[in-house]
Amino acid sequence: MPPAIPEKVTVTANPTPTVGVLALQGDVREHVRVLEDSGARTLTVRRPDELERADGLVIPGGESTTMWRLARSFDMLEPLRKRVEAGMPVYGSCAGMIMLADTILDGVDGQETVGGLAMTVRRNAFGRQVDSFEADVRIDGFADPFHAVFIRAPWVESVGEAVDVLGRVETGPAAGRIVAVRQGQLLATSFHPELTGDARVHRFFVDMVKGLS
């Protein structure tokens, strides 16, 4: 007897993907929690063999100079670049956005990135007076504005043609500055959605890893 076929089968590329969180430095645990609430299995990634097991990757916020130095000493830069080139979905938040940028401004001497997103990102762009602030940002594809928390955040100074701008600061001295982008399988935000209890960015990213968006 052949096995009974259920009446309705939903076929997706990968219904329960394993999403890695780069765990060299930064707010790893917060991302793990939101990703698990968003339907992903999670894995902390410090070594190339762990990266191999991930279907997608989150690069958290933290300090991009430290993350870069650790990625270099853990021999992770090249493996990360290779997976990005091979089309792995990656979401970078804040320092993670810096890590995904092809070009950075106000980096430290010699600071390298993983790259992949055709954009120029300025570190600590919002200035000392407004080191940290919160603002509602409209994100393309989200019905309601996203309450965004910025902590010594970068902004996107300019983007290449292949990059979709998903959100900008709307008010204040930085109005118009780009803070959310997507290029193919790479997603980045200047802000920290893992801190606000709003899982829409993570759910969107998990859908990207599932091959649904």
In whole angstroms, give the CA distance from residue 160 to residue 162: 6
Is residue 72 involved in binding ligand GLN (CB under 6 A)?
Answer: no
**Least Å from the CB of residue 210 to ligand GLN:** 26
Is residue 64 involved in binding ligand GLN (CB under 6 A)?
Answer: yes
Is residue 94 involved in binding ligand GLN (CB under 6 A)?
Answer: yes
Among 98, 101, 119, 201, binds ligand GLN (CB under 6 A): 98
The two tokens of residue 61 are 């916020």
Give the type of residue at 175: A
Among 61, 89, 115, 193, binds ligand GLN (CB under 6 A): 61
114 neighbors 81 (Cβ within 8 angstroms): yes
Is residue 152 involved in binding ligand GLN (CB under 6 A)?
Answer: yes
In whole angstroms, give the CA distance from residue 64 to residue 97: 9
Is residue 151 involved in binding ligand GLN (CB under 6 A)?
Answer: yes
Is residue 113 involved in binding ligand GLN (CB under 6 A)?
Answer: no
Is residue 123 involved in binding ligand GLN (CB under 6 A)?
Answer: yes
Task: Report the relative pairing of strands 56-59 and 90-93 from DSSP bridges.
Answer: parallel
Is residue 71 involved in binding ligand GLN (CB under 6 A)?
Answer: no
Chain centroid to CA 140: how far?
16
Is residue 188 involved in binding ligand GLN (CB under 6 A)?
Answer: no
**Which residue, among 96, 196, 87, has the nearest Cα to 137 in the 3D structure?**
196
Q: In this structure, how many other beta carbons lie within 10 angstroms of the beta carbon of residue 165? A: 14
Is residue 193 involved in binding ligand GLN (CB under 6 A)?
Answer: no
Packing angle, helices 77-85 and 64-73, rounded to 10: 100
* Residue in 94, 112, 161, 170 annotated catalytic: 94
How many helices (DSSP H) and strands (DSSP E) are in the chain? Answer: 6, 12
Among 30, 36, 50, 63, binds ligand GLN (CB under 6 A): 63
Residue 81: φ, ψ to 5°: -60, -40
Among 95, 137, 166, 199, binds ligand GLN (CB under 6 A): 95
* Residue in 31, 63, 78, 192 annotated catalytic: 192
**Least Å from the CB of residue 188 to ligand GLN:** 11
The two tokens of residue 171 are 């008010």
Binding site for ligand GLN (CB under 6 A): 61-64, 94-95, 98, 123-124, 151-152
Catalytically annotated residues: 94, 192, 194
